[in-house]
């Protein structure tokens, strides 16, 4: 994986020293809150309901064991012994003291991590497919491009005060695991007819109060033009994006109001102007970044592991876990392990310090020192020998992380909600926990099959409810929590925004409503292998509405 | 001196550690809402507003504001759900922090 060069190290270390000085000046009263707030936000520090919150970037969701151990150390030393992995492949600490944060940032810098640009109206942490470099369907590893974009966007002077925040995602496979079309810019790596690498570029996707699917603005930008083209988009957005209304300031609104064709003309004009300038990527530079992400030294193994087969024959629980949580690897004899942080009764995405230490050890021992954080709030061990799966599983069982539910109804993603977040209007985590308990029976979960359920505690949609096959949005209605249900959303390559099914449900009713929806699907599906989403697309919302609200009057 | 429709207390987050605090009877910011000074008329509220603004200016707390509460038998309860959660701690992770105490005392 990428290692800091001298420039990166100097940049991060000097920022820590600068922030330490700023915190001291804030505490001494030299800086007012009005002066300090934009500074702390630029360093990932929020003030939430109960405490400060520190959001740490995990670039494109990739980290090594040493970094994971440092996250455990921070949780244990400065926080309440746990952290929360987020839907943007970051980690949030919920309880740091302001006066400890400079020490935390110094600890992070010692393992090449930071919290810069995890907030504010700038280019945020670039996200990527969490199976990058491992999945069997990949055209190319998207992380070198994500790293090039990270370097370009870090402290980019022109884009430090954009109209609004800006999110970029990169995928390297036709199957979209990163909700690429719901980002301000989504990049899908492709090869052109000549076999050269480049990207298809989508713009104007997003969730929040105005959800939109990204639009294809260019079906092939050559690798050497990657930065020039993205810079052209940012420049057009920075000049023309609305600054008069924060709810209309994202690029999706600019695309919508201007029209794609007209905006594309502006982008292309700017691109033509700068394409032969300093941002043109020399082949050697790309290849040298790529070298950081070279595949590990895989052993040459058969695609069939007799150890695995024997272990499966002996242990039904293990078989179930393998079937759901191990995905096909591009290298014969290896698998990709999804460690679902979704055990019954737990908060989605939460991991204790000791669990993080276990994950670090497993990454070190079994996965070439590599771990990933997925936007679905799980941890991935990307390169595990099939022969080692049983040992990994046993370790996860012993440490409460062997939920065999990846991609099932209880693999819920949920934002922190009103239990922590100052913006939230309703709680998310307790709803996730109730649904998790209601569907705890594994036979039943497997009978239901693939189903993505996503919960947000406010319209800002950090829990991605718009793209849940079942989405739940918590709102405040006259002081009471009310939960609206959307159906049919999808964050993959067949991107769709869910449709509101009808009036909302109280907190006491919501998990029952989900059960009614699921029962309706089970009764209506054509066959066991017709997924919830396929069935919904075939039959539409009417049967679900009728089951939830009774027959519609003619 | 008009009586307020609902009693209020002042709340904020402490600057140094971010802890939720309420303006207490002795003018000190306290971590337990039940120890907050309950204000029932405009004169009392205005006096506390001045204290809260001063604490903000003195960099003791951040962005203080008044919240509506009910106050009976020494129990101060915010009317808004958001403020109830701020006072009692998250409704999850009941093994930790303030919510562990709240939860234990309710169970007892």
Neighbours of A540 (CB within 10 A): 13
Quickly list H helices, A43-137.
65-78, 101-109
Task: Locate the domains of chain B by residue range.
Answer: 3-107
pLDDT at B97 (0 to 100): 83
Mean pLDDT of A255-262: 97
How far apart CA A178 and CA A495 sit, in angstroms, is 11
What CATH class is the domain A413-549? alpha beta
Task: Locate the domains of chain A by residue range.
Answer: 6-109, 142-292, 306-398, 413-549
A347's tokens: 């908060």
pLDDT at A51 (0 to 100): 97
pLDDT at B86 (0 to 100): 97
A8's tokens: 């990166």
Cross-strand pairs, A54: A45, A93
Mean pLDDT of A234-238: 98
Residues A465 and A511: beta-carbon distance below 8 Å: no
pLDDT at A333 (0 to 100): 98
Longest dimension (CA), chain B: 45
Residues B21 and B61: beta-carbon distance below 8 Å: yes
pLDDT at A47 (0 to 100): 97
Q: Is the dihedral of CA B26, B29, B32, B34 positive or negative?
A: positive
Strands (E), A374-498: 379-385, 413-414, 453-456, 470-477, 480-487
**A142-292 CATH fold:** Sulfite Reductase Hemoprotein; domain 1 (3.30.413)
Q: Which residue has the tokens 């054509």?
A: A526
Mean pLDDT of A361-381: 98
B58 with A95: Cβ contact below 8 A = no
Nearest by Cα to A86 from A39, A118, A40, A134: A118
- Give the model's confidence band at A460: pLDDT under 50 very low, under 70 low, under 90 confident, else very high: very high
Per residue in B26-72, pLDDT tens?
A: 889 999 999 999 999 999 999 999 999 999 999 999 999 999 999 99
CA distances A111 to A4, A78, A323, B71, Å, are 9, 17, 35, 50
Average pLDDT in chain A? 97
A33 with B89: Cβ contact below 8 A = no
Mean pLDDT of B92-106: 81
Residues A131 and A379: beta-carbon distance below 8 Å: no
A95 with B97: Cβ contact below 8 A = yes
A49 with B86: Cβ contact below 8 A = yes
Mean pLDDT of A458-486: 97
Is residue A553 predicted with pLDDT exceeding 70?
no
pLDDT above 90 as % of chain A: 99
Measured CA angle at A185 (ends A181, A191), to 5 deg = 80
Task: Give the one of A52, A350, A418 whose C-beta lies nearest to B82's C-beta.
Answer: A418
Is residue A554 predicted with pLDDT exceeding 60?
no
Mean pLDDT of A36-58: 96
Is residue B108 predicted with pLDDT exceeding 70?
no
pLDDT at A353 (0 to 100): 98
Strands (E), A29-184: 45-47, 52-56, 62-64, 82-85, 91-93, 127-128, 168-171
Cross-strand pairs, A169: A127, A186
pLDDT at A311 (0 to 100): 98
How far apart CA A224 and CA A222 sit, in angstroms, is 6
pLDDT at B98 (0 to 100): 86
Question: SS3 for A196?
Answer: coil
Q: Is A231 exposed, middle or buried (0-12, 13-18, 19+ CB in 10 A)?
A: buried
B18 with A97: Cβ contact below 8 A = yes
How far apart CA A168 and CA A178 sit, in angstroms, is 10
A410's tokens: 């209880």
A430 with B58: Cβ contact below 8 A = no
Per residue in A70-126, pLDDT tens?
A: 999 999 999 999 999 999 999 999 999 999 999 999 999 999 999 999 999 999 999
- Give the model's confidence band at A241: pLDDT under 50 very low, under 70 low, under 90 confident, else very high: very high
Per residue in A2-25, pLDDT tens?
A: 899 999 999 999 999 999 999 999
Two domains, one topology: A142-292 and A413-549: yes
Per residue in A407-438, pLDDT tens?
A: 999 999 999 999 999 999 999 999 999 999 99
- Give the model's confidence band at A360: pLDDT under 50 very low, under 70 low, under 90 confident, else very high: very high
Level-2 CATH architecture, domain A306-398: Alpha-Beta Complex (3.90)
- Give the model's confidence band at A67: pLDDT under 50 very low, under 70 low, under 90 confident, else very high: very high
- Give the model's confidence band at A453: pLDDT under 50 very low, under 70 low, under 90 confident, else very high: very high
pLDDT at B25 (0 to 100): 85
How far apart CA A554 and CA A551 sit, in angstroms, is 9
CA distances B31 to B12, B21, B34, Å, are 10, 5, 9
Residues A393 and A441: beta-carbon distance below 8 Å: no
Q: Is the pTM higher than 0.95? A: yes
A470's tokens: 């079942």
* Residue A25 to chain B, least CA–CA distance (Å): 11
N-to-C CA span, chain B: 41
Question: SS3 for A433?
Answer: helix
Mean pLDDT of A170-198: 97
Q: HEC states along A251-316?
A: HHHHHHHHCHHHHHHHHHHHHHHHCCCCCCCCHHHHHHHHHHCCCCCCCCCCCCCHHHHHHHHHCH
- Using an 8 Å CB-CB cutoff, list residues of chain A that contact chain B: 26-29, 33, 47-52, 80-82, 95-99, 347, 350, 418-420, 427, 429-430, 433, 476, 479-481
Mutation for testing the B interface, residue in A45, A50, A351, A354 having most B CBs under 10 Å: A50
Q: Which helix (H) or strand (E) holds A188?
A: strand A185-191
What residues of chain B lie within 8 A of the CB of A420, using their CB? 90
pLDDT at B96 (0 to 100): 86
Residues B23 and B48: beta-carbon distance below 8 Å: yes
Residues A95 and A80: beta-carbon distance below 8 Å: yes
Instruction: Provide φ and ψ at A335, rounded to 5°.
Output: -140, 160
What CATH class is the domain A6-109? alpha beta
pLDDT at A1 (0 to 100): 83
Residues A129 and A171: beta-carbon distance below 8 Å: yes
B82 with A49: Cβ contact below 8 A = yes
């Amino acid at each position: 994986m990428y290692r800091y060069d001298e420039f990166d190290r100097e940049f991060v270390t000097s920022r820590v020293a600068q922030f330490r000085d700023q915190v001291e000046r804030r505490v001494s009263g030299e800086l007012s809150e009005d002066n300090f707030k934009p500074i702390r936000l630029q360093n990932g520090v929020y003030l939430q309901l109960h405490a400060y919150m520190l959001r740490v970037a995990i670039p494109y969701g990739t980290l090594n064991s040493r970094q994971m151990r440092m996250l455990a150390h921070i949780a244990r030393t400065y926080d309440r012994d746990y952290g929360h992995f987020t839907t943007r492949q970051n980690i949030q600490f919920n309880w740091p003291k302001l006066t400890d944060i400079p020490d935390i940032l110094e600890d992070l810098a010692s393992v090449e991590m930071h919290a810069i640009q995890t907030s504010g109206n700038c280019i945020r942490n670039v996200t990527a497919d969490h199976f990058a470099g491992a999945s069997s369907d990949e055209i190319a590893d998207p992380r070198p491009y994500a790293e090039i974009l990270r370097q370009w966007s870090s402290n980019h002077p022109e884009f430090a005060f954009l109209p609004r925040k800006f999110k970029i995602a990169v995928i390297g496979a036709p199957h979209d695991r990163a909700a690429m079309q719901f980002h301000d810019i989504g990049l899908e790596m492709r090869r052109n007819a000549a076999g050269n690498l480049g990207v298809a570029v989508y713009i104007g996707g997003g969730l929040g109060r105005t959800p939109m699917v990204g639009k294809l603005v260019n079906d092939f930008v050559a690798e050497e033009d990657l930065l020039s083209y993205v810079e052209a988009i940012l420049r057009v957005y920075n000049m023309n994006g609305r600054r008069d209304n924060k709810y209309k300031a994202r690029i999706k609104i600019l695309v919508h109001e201007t029209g794609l064709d007209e905006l594309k003309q502006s982008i292309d004009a700017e691109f033509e102007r700068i394409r032969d300038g300093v941002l043109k990527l020399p082949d050697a530079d790309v290849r040298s970044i790529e070298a950081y992400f070279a595949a590990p030294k895989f052993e040459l193994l058969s695609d069939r592991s007799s150890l695995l087969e024997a272990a499966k024959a002996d242990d039904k629980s293990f078989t179930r876990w393998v079937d759901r949580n191990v995905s096909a690897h591009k290298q014969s004899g290896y698998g990709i392990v999804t460690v679902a942080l979704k055990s019954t009764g737990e908060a989605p995405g939460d991991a204790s310090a000791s669990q993080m230490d276990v994950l670090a050890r497993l990454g070190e021992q079994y996965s070439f020192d590599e771990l990933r954080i997925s936007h679905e709030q799980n941890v991935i061990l990307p390169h595990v020998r099939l022969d080692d799966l049983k040992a990994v599983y046993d370790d996860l069982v012993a440490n409460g992380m062997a939920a065999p539910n990846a991609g099932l109804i209880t693999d819920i993603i949920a934002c922190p909600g009103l239990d922590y977040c100052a913006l939230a209007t309703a709680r998310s985590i307790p709803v996730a926990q109730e649904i998790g308990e209601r569907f705890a029976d594994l036979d039943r979960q497997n009978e239901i099959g693939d189903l993505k359920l996503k919960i947000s505690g406010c319209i800002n949609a950090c829990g991605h409810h718009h793209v849940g096959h079942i989405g739940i949005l918590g709102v405040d209605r006259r002081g009471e929590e009310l939960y609206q249900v959307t159906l049919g959303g999808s964050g993959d390559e067949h991107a769709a925004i869910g449709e509101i099914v009808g009036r909302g449900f109280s907190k006491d009713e919501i998990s029952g409503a989900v059960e009614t929806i699921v029962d309706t699907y089970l009764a209506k599906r054509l066959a066991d292998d017709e997924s919830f989403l396929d069935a919904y697309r075939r039959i539409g919302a009417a049967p679900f509405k009728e089951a939830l609200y009774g027959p519609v009057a003619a | 001196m008009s009586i307020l429709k609902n009693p209020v207390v002042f709340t904020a987050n402490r600057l140094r550690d971010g802890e939720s605090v309420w303006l207490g009877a002795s003018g000190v910011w306290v971590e337990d809402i039940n120890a907050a000074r309950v204000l029932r008329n405009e004169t009392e509220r205005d006096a506390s507003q001045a204290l809260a603004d001063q604490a903000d200016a003195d960099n003791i707390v951040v962005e203080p504001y008044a919240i509506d509460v009910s106050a009976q038998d020494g129990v101060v309860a915010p009317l808004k759900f958001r403020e109830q959660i701020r006072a009692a701690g998250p409704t999850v992770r009941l093994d930790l922090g303030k919510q562990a105490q709240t939860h234990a005392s309710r169970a007892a």
